Structure 1
Amino acid sequence: MSTEEPVFAISNLDFYYGEKRALSNINMEIMPRKVTALIGPSGCGKSTYLRCLNRMNDTISGTHVEGEIRLHGENIYAPSTDVVELRQRVGMVFQTPNPFPQSIFDNVAFGPRVLGLSENKIALEETVEQSLRKAALWNDVKDDLKQGAMGLSLGQQQRLCIARVIAVQPEVILMDESTSALDPIATGHIEDLIAELKKEYTIIIVTHNMQQAARVSDSTGLFWLGELIEFAPTKELFTRPKEELTEAYITGRMG
Structure 2
Amino acid sequence: MAQGVKISAPVVSNAHGSATSKRCKIQTRGVNVYYGDKHALHDVSVDIAEKSVTAFIGPSGCGKSTFLRCINRMNDTIPIARVDGKIELDGQDIYDRGLDVVQLRARVGMVFQKPNPFAKTIFENVAYGPRIHGLARSGTDLNGIVETSLRKAGLWEEVKDRLNQPGTGLSGGQQQRLCIARAIAVEPEVILMDEPCSALDPIATARIEELIDELRENFTIIIVTHSMQQAARVSQRTAFFHLGKLVEEGATEQIFTNPHDKRTQDYITGRFG
Q: Same fold (TM over 0.5)?
A: yes
Once the two structures are superposed, what CA deviation does each residue of 1:9-38 show, in whole Å capped at 9, x if it has no partner?
Answer: 000111111111110010100000000000
Q: TM-score, structure 2 length as denominator?
A: 0.92
Partner of 2:93: 75
- Measure how far apart 1:185 and its partner are: 0.1
Partner of 1:196: 214
Whole-Å separation in 2 of the counterparts to 1:160 and 1:111: 13
**Equivalent position to 1:130, from 106, 131, 148:** 148
The 5 A counterparts of 1:98-247 are 98-247=116-265
Once the two structures are superposed, what CA deviation does each residue of 1:92-123 show, in whole Å capped at 9, x if it has no partner?
Answer: 00000000011000000000011111000000
Give the count of matched residue pairs: 255
Whole-Å separation in 2 of the counterparts to 1:98 and 1:240: 38
Q: What amino acid sits opposite 1:88 in the alignment?
A: A
Equivalent pairs: percent with the same residue? 58
- Measure how far apart 1:4 and its partner are: 4.3
Partner of 2:36: 18
Partner of 1:252: 270
Q: What amino acid sits opposite 2:133 in the alignment?
A: L
Once the two structures are superposed, what CA deviation does each residue of 1:125-176 show, in whole Å capped at 9, x if it has no partner?
Answer: 0000000000000000001100111110000000000000010000000000
Q: What amino acid sits opposite 2:223 in the alignment?
A: I
Against the structure 1 CA distance between its residues 244 and 156, is the aligned structure 2 distance closer, same or farther, given a 3 Å change threshold? same
Q: TM-score, structure 1 length as denominator?
A: 0.99
The 3-state SS of whatever aligns with 2:221 is: strand
* Ranges of 4+ aligned residues in structure 1 off by more than 6 Å: none
Partner of 2:50: 32
- Measure how far apart 1:5 and its partner are: 3.1
Unaligned runs of at least 5 residues, structure 1 = none
Q: What amino acid sits opposite 1:102 in the alignment?
A: K
Supply the RMSD in Å over aligned alpha carbons: 0.8
